[in-house]
Structure 1
Amino acid sequence: MAHSLPPSTELPVVNNVTDEKFVDIYTSHKEKGQLLDNGRTLVGFQVQGRAFVAALGSHSYSSGIHHVRIRVDKGIPFLGIRSRSIPLVPREGSAGRHCDSPSAYGWLINYAINRNGLLRTELQSSRPDGDIYTLTLDCDQRRLSLVNENTNEQREIEVDIHHTPFPWCLFVEHNRMPGQLSLI
């Protein structure tokens, strides 16, 4: 008697990134931001006027699915990606914000979604302090998703690789000070 096995349905392999860290920090004044804990924590300090502190991750992502976990300790940061091959410079007229770059995709937590550097407001009432997020970079499907582990809220966007070509890198920014976030 012959037995047949059901067709294999391969599940995609997901890489839980535990060794990511921030290697580059961008701000108009060095005293506005600092990397701590061997590059795993970004702190933005309260200053007068508008201040923005951005950081890029150490890894480059071009294929596969990758989970990066981030705890927002204080503030309302931008969490997302950008193309590593495009220089990080603020868009003209953005008051120094880097998340307005056409290469940036992600979320200004509890405030707006960013596609191709264009922010679309999505106001929500809760403060993210202490919340943990899983940012998923699906390079194969060219998608980015964000799950708030505390509320199970999930968001997803498609990435246009004409504006954000591979390789991608983790990109975060404190848009309102003070702020602190940590990779976990």
Structure 2
Amino acid sequence: MASVTSKTPCVTCGKGAGLFKCEGCTQTFCTKHVAEHRQTLHHQLDEIIVKHDSLQEKIIENKDQSNPLIKYVDEWEQKSIVKIQQMAEETRQKVVKLSDIHKRTVSKELNLLTEQIKKAREEDDFIETDLIYWISTLNRMRDELITVPLSNNIKEDQSAPLIYQLKLTTTSSEFDDKSMFQYRQAHLQTTTSGDILERCLDGAKIGDNGQLVEHSDWDCPVEVRGKVGYTSGTHRFRLQIEKNPRGTWIFFGIISKTQLMTKCSYESSSAYGWADYDDYFLGGVRQNNQNTGQFYDTVESDIITLIVDCTNRKICYVNEKRQKSQQLDININKCPFPWQLHINLYGTGDRVRLLSATSNISLSSYQ
């Protein structure tokens, strides 16, 4: 008897016939509700365009051509160009002079050779060895003429900089409000890292080719880890909380690959990350002294972006829907490389999907 393949029900109405899967949110819809889903996306796009146009207007309005700092940079640029041109011209003249001297030297030697060959021909006084010598000498002089001797070269004088770099100094308070969102500007040059959810302890199951993990036991902490170990570069993970029926918090962060897996992995000495916005762990120690196991700022369907910056030894947490973000400095002594994606589920039925994992992202505003 043929088996009937089970279908994933529509996320809106629960029906399981005539289904379509959205590649963006990875949720499944029936024929009726897929159209509604597209209308919702169009509405959200319209809102984004309105915000974009508003921001563009503010940028245009705030252009300040009289900024004294810009004027200083312009003057520095022009002075630097003049210095470079002067140095280039002086060096160019020295090279030309050296080349002329070299040509005259080769020319004198060639004249001497010319007299030897002329005399030998007139007196018919030459043999094979003379021919070989003259050919060899001509080849050598030809090479010397087109190639400046290796003893002559140009190097940059590192001890006396021609131009000094500009450095913008400012008080940290001027950027504090924006610094929390610096990782949201990550863009360009991204590549898929190939990371997946690979390992978990008893109490959870990994599925969908490593893109999904679901808590399958009674309420208890269960550690989940990614596959890749990171030692350099900057990496971004987008994770969606697909199911969170009891509202219990879910840990998102990193852990050293050298750390053994354990149920309460967020208490491990190399664990850094968040149970919720402004509820984070440093070296396995919870910092807000809360004992609650419930989400406060996060709800089901929220998308959490986790940025792992190995170069600057930082990680950043962003709740995309609520536009809240926070970053943590990593103590490399407590959390040595390589680092791994680290999740810990607690509530029965909790389900998290890894939407994407990218590497080598460019951080336009991060310092």
The answer to whether the 8 Å contact 2:278/2:326 transfers is no
Larger strand proportion of the pair:
1
Match of 1:36 in 2: 207
Match of residue 156, structure 1, among 318, 321, 327: 327
Paired residue secondary structure (2:229): coil
Q: Which has the higher contact order (CA 8 A, sep 6+)?
A: 1
Match of residue 74, structure 1, among 219, 235, 243: 243
Unaligned runs of 5+ in 2: 1-78, 82-164, 166-185, 356-367
- Structure 1 position 15, deviation (Å): 4.2
Amino acid of the structure 1 residue aligned with 2:226? G
Alignment deviations for residues 24-79 of structure 1 (CA, whole Å, 9 cap, x no partner): 1123xxxx2111111111100352xx411211101111111111110111232100
* Cα distance change, pair 132–16 in 1 and its aligned pair in 2 (3 A): farther
Match of residue 312, structure 2, among 141, 151, 154: 141
- Structure 1 position 14, deviation (Å): 6.5
Amino acid of the structure 2 residue aligned with 1:82? I
Using structure 1 for the length normalisation, give the TM-score.
Answer: 0.80
Would you identify which runs of 4 or more consecutive aligned residues in structure 1 move more than 6 Å?
Answer: 11-14
The answer to whether the 8 Å contact 2:276/2:296 transfers is no
Match of 1:20 in 2: 195
Paired residue secondary structure (2:265): coil
1:116 corresponds to 2:283: yes
* Cα distance change, pair 18–183 in 1 and its aligned pair in 2 (3 A): farther
Match of 2:303 in 1: 132
Unaligned runs of 5+ in 1: 90-95
* Cα distance change, pair 15–80 in 1 and its aligned pair in 2 (3 A): farther
Match of residue 257, structure 2, among 84, 88, 105: 84
Amino acid of the structure 1 residue aligned with 2:253? G
Alignment deviations for residues 123-155 of structure 1 (CA, whole Å, 9 cap, x no partner): 863442101111000001100001111111001
The answer to whether the 8 Å contact 1:148/1:154 transfers is yes
Aligned length: 170
Match of 1:174 in 2: 345
* Cα distance change, pair 120–70 in 1 and its aligned pair in 2 (3 A): same
Q: CA RMSD in A?
A: 3.0
Larger helix proportion of the pair:
2
Alignment deviations for residues 82-129 of structure 1 (CA, whole Å, 9 cap, x no partner): 00022223xxxxxx4111101100001257201100012378634421
The answer to whether the 8 Å contact 1:78/1:99 transfers is yes
After the TM superposition, which residues 43-62 of structure 1 pair with which residues of structure 2 at under 5 Å, given as runs? Answer: 43-47=214-218, 50-62=219-231
Amino acid of the structure 2 residue aligned with 1:72? I
